[in-house]
Homo-oligomer: A and B are copies of this chain.
Amino acid sequence: MSNVTAITAPTQSVEANGIRFTYRRWGKPGGLPLVFNQHFTGSLDNWDPAVLDGLAREREVIIFNNAGVASYTGEVPKTFEGMAANAEAFIDALGLKQIDLLGFSIGGMVAQQIVLDRPDLVRRLILVGTAPRNHDAGGGEGHITPETAAIFGAMYDPPENLWLKVFFTDSERSQAAGREFLTRYLSRTENRDSPVNETVAPAQISAVGAWGAHSGERFAYLKTIKQPTLIVSGNHDVIVYTVNSLHLAQNMPNAKLILYPDANHGSWYENHEDFVFEANRFLNA
């Protein structure tokens, strides 16, 4: 095992589907790697290093920018089907025949699509703060919750304080956890990822709309996701409403759900020690 961490892992790249994907890969080799699918407008640097390195102690972790995001400057597809196809090309380009898969927020929607497309590729699935097709978004336009629109539409000084509102509740305890997260988030000071450009958010928002407006029988497709799955959410997620995690757990054949108290969209960052313990235990089972 090397001394590489989330702070020092080099940014690498690989070409597939005519796309040059940037990624970082580190951790304990030998088993299946865990591939992470990122949230709205997130780059390689937006993952919580505490979660990444906690999981990397027991397996290889792979984080990557899907097409068009941050250090790749191409085009972001307007559907999760398109993003999943690109993610699959990236995974294939690394020569991986089987992986464990994690998706956070819209990354969880991409992850569901990957499993639907390529069930044999994925051994175990972790879905954090995400939702099925035809999800509950409180009547928000384009299947975006009203709170999401308000929070991402506001200005923050410094800008990273956005994540205090996206990921944490307004309680004193949760905001304190949020400030600790921001310190970790900023702790990689060298070779940070490029910023995302202005084309990323609109395309990702379009994908959420297409996902939420799906015409099929509500939740029927979830019955076909047979992978052992760990679903995690905060008990007060205002970005992707908590009830969507209940929908997932009630309609997937083999999914255990964990909800954290006094927690918003970043429940797993707020409770990173417990999450790392639970996720390592789940993946090692």
Q: Which residues of chain A from 240 to 285 have a CB within 8 Å of any chain B CB?
A: 242-243, 246, 249-250, 252-262, 274
How many chain-A residues does the 8 Å CB contact rule pick out? 19
Residue A235 is within 8 A (CB to CB) of chain B in the complex: yes
Question: Within 8 Å CB of A257, what residues of B?
Answer: 235, 257-259
Q: Complex Cα distance A254/B236, Å?
A: 12
Do B258 and A253 touch (CB < 8 A)?
A: no
Question: Within 8 Å CB of A256, what residues of B?
Answer: 258-261, 274
Question: Within 8 Å CB of A274, what residues of B?
Answer: 256
Q: Complex Cα distance A242/B243, Å?
A: 12
Question: Within 8 Å CB of A250, what residues of B?
Answer: 235-236, 242
> Which chain B residue lies CB-closest to A258?
B258
> Which chain B residue lies CB-closest to A259?
B257
User: Smallest distance from the beta carbon of A273 to chain B beta carbons, Å?
Assistant: 10
Do A262 and B253 touch (CB < 8 A)?
A: yes
Do A259 and B254 touch (CB < 8 A)?
A: no
User: Smallest distance from the beta carbon of A49 to chain B beta carbons, Å?
Assistant: 24
Q: Complex Cα distance A253/B249, Å?
A: 23
Do B242 and A261 touch (CB < 8 A)?
A: no
Q: Complex Cα distance A246/B244, Å?
A: 11
User: Smallest distance from the beta carbon of A66 to chain B beta carbons, Å?
Assistant: 29
User: Smallest distance from the beta carbon of A35 to chain B beta carbons, Å?
Assistant: 23
Within 8 Å by CB of A243, from B246, B258, B259, lies B246
Question: Within 8 Å CB of A252, what residues of B?
Answer: 261
User: Smallest distance from the beta carbon of A81 to chain B beta carbons, Å?
Assistant: 26
Do A254 and B258 touch (CB < 8 A)?
A: no
Q: Complex Cα distance A181/B258, Å?
A: 25
Do B249 and A261 touch (CB < 8 A)?
A: yes
> Which chain B residue lies CB-closest to A281?
B277
Q: Complex Cα distance A253/B257, Å?
A: 19
Q: Which residues of chain A from 164 to 193 have a CB within 8 Å of any chain B CB?
A: none
- Residues in chain A within 8 A of chain B (CB atoms): 235-236, 242-243, 246, 249-250, 252-262, 274
| A-B complex: 8 closest residue pairs judged by Cβ atoms | A257-B259, A235-B249, A249-B259, A254-B261, A235-B250, A255-B261, A246-B246, A258-B258
